[in-house]
Structure 1
Amino acid sequence: MTQPDLFGESFARDGVAILRGFARADDVALVAAIDAIAAVAPFRHMSVPGGGRMSVAMTNAGTGWVADTRGYRYSPVDPLSGRDWPDLPPVFVDLAERAARVAGFEFLPDGCLINRYEPGAKMGLHQDINEGDYSAPIVSVSLGLPATFQFGGLKRSDPVEKIGLHHGDVVVWGGPARKAFHGVLTLKAGHHAIGGHRYNLTFRKVL
């Protein structure tokens, strides 16, 4: 069944829903939770297997996603501190569950990758394929500056659609779209109440 865009323009893709403004009512609590997580596990620019450095700064809650010259993987431990990543805050879990349910999925996340985009940062096209359960969707929450999200097909060469995402928008994808290529174009400078950056919360079912 094609999932509707419930709060904005339609996006006709089976397994995808764009929920406009869905997280806006929780934005203060979400940003406070991000700040608390970053106080324990600071944002950092991870390396990639080829030796480069990601332009997006990252941290995690729950089971964490990490990247370095050895590859991409999940780990319960923050490699910087040697301690477990902070727990998923209840406000995170509640939002992810509700968004997934509206989009037609049952979902209990056990990990959240938190990306901080400063102007000039971007995320190339990639698939989320390091998780152990592909039956669960991905829930992606945008906070702060607007960004252009790219959503493609199951092959890197497939056509890519561009979607403008704003503060509080949530994108959910799963089912036949679960392994779709996606990314974010270079973030433009701007002003927002939470600061001159963009946060992206990406909820996954890792184990």
Structure 2
Amino acid sequence: MTLDLFPDRLAPPGLSYLPGFALDEEAALVRAAMEVAAAAPFRRMATPGGQEMSAAMTNCGAAGWVSDAKGYRYARRDPVSALPWPALPALFRALAGRAAREAGFADFVPDMALINRYEPGARMSLHRDIDERDFASPIVSVSLGLPAVFLWGGRVRADKPARLPLGSGDVLVWGGAARKYFHGVAPVRKGEHPLTGAARFNLTFRRAL
């Protein structure tokens, strides 16, 4: 149970766990994510080493996170269409700001959102979010759809991660000293959600530029 792992809303130093924080806006958030994906379709990007990622991704806002043989980076245009990424929905920006304030980051205004779609079996290996220019701003992560297990690591990849079960509407915020900590997602189990079907969406808000 999550309460056994994190007895308070404030989890390990720098990580805030906000259970059900986005639940009231769950349907609207899923609709907005699908509208973004209609303009900039989900795709499975490749790592610089050529391995295809198991989670499909798209972006919205001033820039999008991309990965290919050239490396990890932010691009102002979708490399598939050469068009600017869809605008960041006002609903997204407002939710991210409220969650950040709840976690103690009063002035966070995201300029982009990375949207991940996890189908059963998809995962995200331990990594750090270090391609942004602004590390003073936190990361705000919103779970929608199928449940998943979030892996919260430490300063180095070898640190054993804690496992936090997440449901639809749960929000995580991390920043400060933990801004560059390793984190990931365990393989998503099979299931069905009334809004997302056999998938989990994750909205990750950042200050990238």
Place the TM-score, normalised by the shorter chain, in its bin: over 0.9
Ranges in structure 2 where 5+ consecutive residues have no aligned partner:
none
- How far does the alpha carbon of each residue in 1:84-137 deviate from its partner, in whole angstroms, 9 at most, with x for none? 000100000000000000000020000100000000100000000000000000
Residue of structure 2 equivalent to 1:135: 136
Q: Runs ≥4 in structure 1, deviation > 4 angstroms?
A: none
AA partner of residue 82 (structure 1): A
Secondary structure (helix, strand or coil) at the match of 2:24 reads helix
Q: CA RMSD in A?
A: 1.2
Percent identical across equivalent pairs?
56
Counterpart position of 2:205: 203
- Structure 2 counterpart SS, 1:39: helix
Aligned residue in 2 for 1:27: 26
| Distance in 1 (alpha carbons) for counterparts of 2:11 and 2:119 | 30
Instruction: Report the Cα distance in structure 2 between the residues aligned to 1:125 and 1:85, rounded to whole angstroms.
Output: 26
Q: Secondary structure at the match of 1:96?
A: helix
> How is 1:104-119 mapped onto 2 (pairs within 5 angstroms)?
104-105=104-105, 106-119=107-120
Which residue number corresponds to residue 52 of structure 2? 53
Q: Distance in 2 between matches of 1:164 and 1:116?
A: 17
- For structure 1, the 5+ residue unaligned runs are none
Aligned AA (1:58) = M
Q: How do 1:36-115 residues align onto structure 2 when only pairs under 5 Å count?
A: 36-62=35-61, 63-105=63-105, 106-115=107-116
Separation in structure 2 between the aligned mates of residue 114 and residue 128 of structure 1, nearest angstrom: 14
In 2, Cα distance between equivalents of 1:12 and 1:85:
34
Amino acid aligned to 1:193: P
Aligned residues: 201
State the 1:50 CA deviation. 0.6
Q: Distance in 2 between matches of 1:190 and 1:175?
A: 35
**Quick one: distance in 2 between partners of 1:55 and 1:99?**
28
- Partner AA of 2:98 in structure 1: R
Matched residue, 2:147:
146
